Amino acid sequence: MPAIIMKKGRYMKIYADNAATTKISKAALDTMIKVMEEKYGNPSSLYEIGQNAKNIIEEARETVAAALGASPREIIFTSGGSESDNQAIITAAAIGEKKGKKHIVSTAIEHHAVLHTLNKLKNKGFSITLLPVDNNGLIDLEELKNAITDDTCLVSVMFVNNEIGVIEPIEEIGKICREKGVLFHTDAVQATGHIKIDVGAMNIDMLSLSAHKFHGPKGIGALYFRKGIPLTAIIDGGAQERGKRAGTENVPAIAGMAVALKEATEALESNAEKTIAVRDYIIDGLNKIPYAELNGDRIKRAPSNINFCFEGIEGESLLLLLDDKGISASSGSACTSGSLDPSHVLLAIGRPHEVAHGSLRLSIDENLTKEEADYIIKSVKDTVEYLRNMSPLWRDLVTGKRKHIFEEY
Ligand SMILES: Cc1ncc(COP(=O)(O)O)c(C=O)c1O
C-alpha cells in the first residue's frame, strides 16, 4: 500500500460519518449532566423538583418550535426519527381511514422507518404509491400531482436523503399538497439543524427530527404536527405529552437536544458555507478517480454529503481499509450496511447492482480542515487503486471482457 500521511507520528483520525450520527456538542453534554444532577425530578410530580423538570421540557419545546417556525403546542418529544416517522404516518392513516381514504404517496428512496411503516399499512389494505426518482435522486412534481387521487390521505417525502444527500423540493411539494387538500409529512431527520426549515412557508403538516444528527444526544427526537391534527398515540400509558406519547420524559436528552438545535440553527448559514466549500473540494478531488461517479444531485445536495460509486470494487473492503487509515465512513446508511443487498436508494437512481455495491458515503461537518480533506482524497484514491489491482472484476473491465458502466472521467 502507498505511504499513509501521518500527523505527529500517528494516523490522522477523521470522523466522516455524520449522517449516521454526530458527536454531541460540549454545550449539550454539559446541559445534560447539569439536568441529571440538578433537575432529576419526574416532570409529572406536582412538587417543586418535579415542576423544575417540567419547566426544562417546556423551555425545550419552545426552542424546538422556534427552530421550525412552529408553535410549542405543535411539538411532541419522541425517541427519535424512527418513532416520529411511524407516528406521523400512522396518524395520517387513521385520519384517512375515518374518511374512507386509504391511499398514501411516498418515494422509493425513503428511510426504512417510513418504508416499513408503509408496508405494514399495505398489509392492512392501504394502497401505496412510491414515486420513482430521476438519476439525480429528485422526484418529479408532475408525477406527484398525477399520483394524488381523491383517495389519498398522505404524501410523505423526505427533506434530505440520508444516503445521497439530495434535497427534495419540499416547498413545492407542500404547495401541491395544500392545493389538493392532502396531509404532507416530511422526514427531516437529515435536514434539521443543517438546512433552513419553515413549516408554515413550506406547508408542512408533520415533520420528523432526531437530535443525534445535529450534535445532540441519541434516543431523542420530536414530531411537529400542525395545530388541529389529531395525533394517534403509538405508545399507550400515562398522560405525558398531552396523551400523545406515554412514558416518563427523557428530560436530560430533551434539554440536550434543545441546546444542540439552538446552536445548530444559529450557526446554520456559516456552517453550511464552510461545509459546502470543503465538500465541493473533496467531490472535485474524487471525481478525478477514473470510472467513479458522484451519486445524487450536484447542487441540490446537503452541505455535508459526498457519495460516490467506484467501478470494480466492493464498498465494504473500501470501508475497512479506510478505517485502517483512520477514516470513518459508510457504504450506505448505517441501517443497511451489514446487509449484502445493494442500497435501495442507489438502485432507485439507476445504478446497476455491480456499481451500487462499490459505493462510499462521506458525511463531513464544518470542522473538517483542508489538510484532512486532502488526506481523505489521497486515501480514497490509493485504496480504490489498491483494491482494483486485486479485483478479478476490474481485470475483466480492463481486458474488455466486461463493459465499463461509467465514463473514464
Ligand atoms: C432520513 C432518516 N430518517 C429516519 C432516521 C431514523 O432516526 P433515528 O435513528 O433517530 O431513529 C434516520 C437515521 O439514520 C434517517 O437518516
- Residue pLDDT tens, the chain, 409 long: 444 555 555 578 999 999 999 999 999 999 999 999 999 999 999 999 999 999 999 999 999 999 999 999 999 999 999 999 999 999 999 999 999 999 999 999 999 999 999 999 999 999 999 999 999 999 999 999 999 999 999 999 999 999 999 999 999 999 999 999 999 999 999 999 999 999 999 999 999 999 999 999 999 999 999 999 999 999 999 999 999 999 999 999 999 999 999 999 999 999 999 999 999 999 999 999 999 999 999 999 999 999 999 999 999 999 999 999 999 999 864 444 555 678 999 999 999 998 999 999 999 999 999 999 999 999 999 999 999 999 998 999 999 999 999 987 7
Amino acid at 143: E
Q: How far is the CA of 109 from the centre of ligand 1 (A)?
A: 13
Structure confidence at residue 7 (pLDDT):
52
Distances (CA, A) of 83 to 41, 43, 235: 25, 21, 10
190 Cβ closer than 6 Å to some ligand 1 atom: yes
Would you say the CB of residue 158 lies under 6 angstroms from ligand 1? yes
Measured from the Cα of 158, ligand 1's closest atom is: 1
C-alpha of residue 188 to centroid of ligand 1, in Å: 9
Indicate if ligand 1 lies below 6 Å from the C-beta of 249: no
Hey, whose CA ends up nearest to atom 9 of ligand 1?
81
Q: Which atom of ligand 1 is nearest to the CA of 334?
A: 14
Q: Is the backbone of residue 372 left (phi > 0), alpha (psi -120 to 50) or beta? A: alpha
Going by CA atoms, what residue is nearest to atom 14 of ligand 1? 20
Domains in the chain, please, with CATH? Answer: 26-266 (3.40.640.10), 268-398 (3.90.1150.10)
C-beta 91 within 6 A of ligand 1: no
CA atoms within 13 A on the CB side of 316: 9
Q: Are 221 and 64 in contact (CB under 8 A)?
A: no
Centre of ligand 1 to C-alpha 22, Å, is: 12
Distance 198 CA to ligand 1 centre (A): 20
pLDDT at 331 (0 to 100): 87
C-alpha Rg value of the chain to the nearest Å: 22
Is the CB of residue 51 less than 8 Å from the CB of residue 34? no
Task: Say yes or no: CB of residue 210 within 6 Å of ligand 1.
Answer: yes
Decide: residue 297, CB within 10 A, 0-12 exposed, 13-18 middle, 19+ buried. buried
Residue 334: what pLDDT? 45
177 catalytic per annotation: no
162 lines ligand 1 (CB under 6 A): yes
Question: Is the distance from the beta carbon of residue 372 to the nearest atom of ligand 1 less than 6 Å?
Answer: no
The whole-angstrom distance between residue 396's C-alpha and the CA centroid of its chain comes to: 36
Report pTM.
Answer: 0.95
Query: 18 CA distance to ligand 1 centroid (A)?
Result: 12
Are the CB atoms for 207 and 92 separated by under 8 Å?
Answer: no
